[in-house]
Amino acid sequence: MSVDRNQDTAVHARIYGRVQGVGFRFFVQAQARRLGVRGWVRNEYDGSVEVSCEGSAAGVDRFLKQLKKGPPGARVDRVEASPMQYQGLFRGFTIEP
């Protein structure tokens, strides 16, 4: 997915593979905070991880690249990302139940 790097953007993503039980959500939160991306991450019942985020287009682009790598111990099979309308609603990055 390519984005205009000169403006803010928002993205919803699902990450599939071995992404639960390996510290993936904590990795995602740390990467988001490092890159200035705001939003949330949570585990899904089907074994995937869901992310909703917003920030600078450049930050979100770098963040998506990190989602494709994951932390040590994870195996990312695929990331499905789709743009959302940027609304500027998030203030930080949280791990949701």
Q: For residue 6, name the pLDDT band (cuts at 50, 70, 90).
A: low
Q: Which residues are catalytic?
A: 25, 43
pLDDT (tens digit per residue) in 11-53: 999 999 999 999 999 999 999 999 999 999 999 999 999 999 9
**Rounded percentage of the chain residues whose pLDDT exceeds 70:** 94
pTM over 0.95: no
Average pLDDT over residues 46-63: 97
Q: Which helix (H) or strand (E) holds 68?
A: helix 57-69
Q: For 77-97, write each residue's pLDDT tens digit.
A: 999 999 999 999 999 999 999
Residue range 63-70: average pLDDT?
98
Q: Where are the domains of the chain?
A: 8-85
DSSP letters for 2-40: ---TTSEEEEEEEEEEE-SSSSHHHHHHHHHHHHT-EEE
Q: Count of CB atoms within 10 A of residue 15's CB?
A: 24
CATH architecture of the domain formed by 8-85: 2-Layer Sandwich (3.30)
